[in-house]
Amino acid sequence: MRVRSPSPLGNKILESLGAAPVSMPMGDVYEALERGTVDVAMVPLETLYNYSFHEIAKYITVGNFSATPFFSVMNKDTYNNLSESDQELLKGLVGEERSAEAGRVFDVDGQKGKELAKENGAEFIELTDEQLKPWKDALKDVTQGWIQDMEKEGLPGQEIYERAKELKEEVKE
């Protein structure tokens, strides 16, 4: 199947699962699904609501097999050219509290999207841990490859991976 991929790492994940990844920006996904340019989109549930995918999605497979970090970056010179008050404003938009707030918004939007998709006749397929096992097994090489790539760059890949798993578990609670 041709699956919309969110990133180069997403491409590796999809290839390891036997799919043909198709990279494209989120703004193009609705039309690509509608026209059949892609068969599937690898996206979070909140897109059912925020990108109106509930209108065209007929089958939605929920596997909770990933956690995607979201971040924004800014050119350092641009930041330094901002007024102190604008810099303080930006500093107030980051951190654990803001991250948790954003997560709650995504959760609410995901629930709205699920409800709208169900109202529109979509079938939800919730994968069990047993059903996810082959997927997780297929991804072990991708995980190890990422860890090795990070360590080649002088970064503590294994440590970063272990901490990410801890944070994912903390967020579930």
What would the pLDDT profile of 146-171 be if each residue is shown by its tens digit? 999 999 999 999 999 999 888 878 77
Say if 153 falls within a structural domain.
yes
Is 172 within a domain? yes
As a whole number of angstroms, the distance between CA 62 and CA 123 comes to 11
Asked whether residue 38 is domain-assigned, the answer is: no
Q: Is residue 89 part of a domain?
A: no
- Residue-wise pLDDT tens digits, 80-128: 999 999 999 999 888 888 888 888 999 999 999 999 999 999 999 999 9
Q: What domain count does the chain have? A: 1
Report the alpha-carbon distance of residue 64 to residue 126 in Å, rounded: 9
- Alpha carbon 14 to its chain centroid, in Å, reads 13
Written as six digits, the tokens of 109 are 């939007």
CA 8 and chain centroid, separation:
13
Q: Answer whether 34's CB lies under 8 Å from 56's CB.
A: yes
Identify whether 152 is part of a domain. yes
Q: Is 161 within the bounds of a domain?
A: yes
What phi and psi values does residue 77 have, to the nearest 5 degrees? -65, -40
| Residue numbers of the domain that contains 169 | 139-173
What's the whole-model pTM score? 0.78
Q: Which helix (H) or strand (E) holds 11?
A: helix 8-16
- With respect to residue 131, please indicate whether it lies within any of the assigned structural domains: no
